[in-house]
Amino acid sequence: MDVDFISVSLKQACFIGVLPEEKQKKQSLKITVNLYLDLSKAGRTDSLSDTLDYAEVAQKIHQISQIRHYALVESLGEDIASLFLKEYPISTIDVKIEKLGLSKKIKAKAFVFIRRKKTI
C-alpha cells in the first residue's frame, strides 16, 4: 500500500496557555503537519495544481494560530486539523505542536493529533 504525504513545519509565536503570564506574552511553538493525499498525479505531471502548495499550507497554519488566544494546545490542534480536513483533498492529517523553551530542564513539550476524514 502506497502512503504519500506532504510535511510542513514552521515556528510560530502566538498567545496560548492558561497561566496569567501566558496571556500576556506570545509563546514559541513549532507546528508540523503531515497531510496525507495521493501524490501520484503530481509525480507524473510535475504540476503544482496536482499537489498542495507548501506556502499556502504554512499561511493557513499562521492564520489559525493568530485568530484568538488559545487556552489549550489541544484546541489549536483541533482547529488546524478541522480546517485542512474540510478544505483540502486529504484523507488524514497529523498535527504535532511543540511548546518551545518552557524551562531550563524542559526544552519542549509536544502534542500530537491524528485525524482522519470521516466517510459516510
- With vertex at residue 65, the alpha carbon angle to CA 7 and CA 116, rounded to the nearest 5 degrees, is 50
Domain range for 27: 5-116
Tens-digit pLDDT profile for residues 47-84: 988 899 999 999 999 999 999 999 999 999 999 999 99
Q: What is the CATH number of the domain that holds 109?
A: 3.30.1130.10
pLDDT of residue 103: 64
Q: Is 86 a catalytic residue?
A: no
- With vertex at residue 38, the alpha carbon angle to CA 35 and CA 44, rounded to the nearest 5 degrees, is 125
**pLDDT above 90: percentage of residues in the chain:** 64
Which residue is catalytic, options 25, 41, 86, 99?
Answer: 99
pLDDT of residue 21: 85
Domain count of the fold of the chain: 1
Mean pLDDT of 96-111: 76
Extract the C-alpha cell encoding 101. Answer: 523553551
CA-closest candidate to residue 12, choices 58, 81, 80: 58
